[in-house]
Amino acid sequence: MRRETWISFAFIVAGLLLVLVAWLGDEPFTITLATKVVILSLAGVGLNLALGHGGLVSLGHAAFFGLGGYAMGILASHAQNYEPLMIGSWAMEGTKSMPLIWLAAMLVAVLFALPIGVLSLRTSGVYFIMITLAFAQMIYYFAISWPAYGGEDGMSIYVRNSFPGLNTLDPIQFFVLCALILAICLILVDRLVKSRFGMALEAARQNPQRVTSLGIDTFRLQLTAFVISAAITGLAGALYADLNRFVSPSMLSWQVSGEIMIFVILGGVARFAGPLAGASVFIALEYFLGGLTEFWQFWLGLLLLVVILFARGGIIGVLAGERRHG
């Protein structure tokens, strides 16, 4: 097995052990922190597909993260207030069922990712970065100025949504649920990037002219990757909102886009466990540095700068001791 595989594996086992210890020692706070890591990793897994494998530097993935969050918030708030959700003249019941909410979150993310992708992929390079950022900002401002669902203040859900057969309010049960989803998505994305589609996507990142000269349509490749990527990040958004029982425009803000990108880069671009390592380190820094100093983001910034200028390949890359594109 390659060294990277071992490191990824060891990393996951260590994380699970930590949660096990926390569970046995009855420390729900640690479990909740671990759940946060898992959900943010999932958002990173989504972005990693577009950014790492597709070379699509999206600085607007907060849009999909937040839309997933709002999908959950809107459905659950209608359910808890017993008000039907009116879409035009068509009425729909809200729901507190997680699987339905997840489906809705992914669907909403896909519906937004399609037009955003079609428009953004007309361009490339630095235009793509700016345009994805701008579209995310558009949705952010819309959420702030649209008063129906809390506007700037966001909205709270009283009770966490339900999953058949589980008590989702129990931290460990919710953790296991989120971890399973992450595992499934990790495996699916891994399969995807190693498929014919994934190879063509990878090739298009490295040399788009070449792929075109083979007769493959790079636009369709990249749009597909962008949309799948958005769906995964949207799912993560729904889980994140469920974890906090709260959704607000801050989930849509450009800082969130930057942070999701940091998970991917800090961990290592286009690496299997990269987003997981990145999100873990990010949350650990937030927790430990945040306990030491109010200005922890200053140190985060410095660390990030050092990683980018000197340690290309991220955490997994440095540990695995081999270069990969970055």
Partner 1 sequence: MSLSLFLEQILNGLQFGIMLFVMAAGLTLVFGVMGLINLAHGSLYMIGAFACAAVAGATGSFWLGLAASLAAAAIAGVVVEIVVIRRLYARDHLDQVLATFALILIFSEATRYLFGSFPLYLDTPEILSGAVTFPGGFQYPAYRLAIIFIGFIVAAGLFWLISSTRLGIRIRAGESDREMITALGVDIGKLYTVVFALGAALAGFAGALVGAIQSVQIGMGEPVLILAFVVIVIGGIGSIPGALVASILVGLTDTLGRTLLPIVFGTFMDNSAASSTGSALASMLIYILMAAILVFRPTGLFGARG
Partner 2 sequence: MGDIVLSLDRLSKRYGALLANKDVSLDLRKGEIHALIGPNGAGKSTLVKQVAGEIRPDGGSIMFDGQPINSLNTAARARAGLGRTFQVSSLIPEFSVLQNVMLAVQAQQGKTFRLFKRFSNDTELADQASGYIDELDLQGRADVPVSQLSHGERRQLEMATALALKPRALLLDEPLAGIGPAGSQHMTRLLKKLKQQVPILLIEHDMAAVFELADRISVMVYGRIITTGTAQEIKNNQQVQEAYLGQEAS
- Could you list the residues that contact partner 2 (CB under 8 A)? 188, 191-192, 194-200, 202-203, 206-207, 209-217, 220-221, 224, 325
- In the complex, the smallest distance separating the C-beta of residue 322 from partner 2, rounded to whole angstroms, is 12
Q: Is the dihedral of CA 288, 306, 251, 186 positive or negative?
A: negative
For residue 289, count CB atoms less than 10 angstroms from its CB and return exposed for 0-12, middle for 13-18, buried for 19 or more.
Answer: middle
x/- site string to partner 1, residues 55 to 94, per CB under 8 A? --x-x-----------------------------------
Interaction partner, residue 135 (partner 1, partner 2, none; CB < 5-8 Å by kind): partner 1
- The Cα-based distances of 183 to 42, 177, 211, 261, 310 in angstroms read 9, 10, 31, 20, 31
Residue 163 phi, psi (nearest 5): -130, 130
Stretch that binds partner 1, among 25-33, 73-81, 133-141, 211-219 (CB under 8 A): 133-141
Residue-wise burial string across 250-285, b where 16 or more C-beta atoms lie within 10 A, e elsewhere: bbbbbebbebbbbbbbbbbbbbbbbbbbbbbbbbeb
| 1 DSSP assignment | -
Stretch that binds partner 1, among 8-16, 32-40, 90-98, 138-146 (CB under 8 A): 138-146
x/- site string to partner 1, residues 261 to 290, per CB under 8 A? xx--x---x---------------------
Q: Is 119 in the site for partner 1 (CB under 8 A)?
A: yes
Interaction partner, residue 301 (partner 2, partner 1, none; CB < 5-8 Å by kind): partner 1
Q: Which of 6, 9, 141, 288 binds partner 1 (CB under 8 A)?
A: 141
CB < 8 Å & 24+ apart, contacts of 179-183: 179/16, 179/38, 181/42, 181/235, 181/239, 182/38, 182/39, 182/41, 182/42, 182/45, 182/276
Residues that bind partner 1 (CB under 8 A): 51, 57, 59, 119, 122-127, 129-131, 133-135, 137-138, 141-142, 144-148, 254, 258, 261-262, 265, 269, 295, 297-298, 300-302, 304-305, 308-309, 312, 326
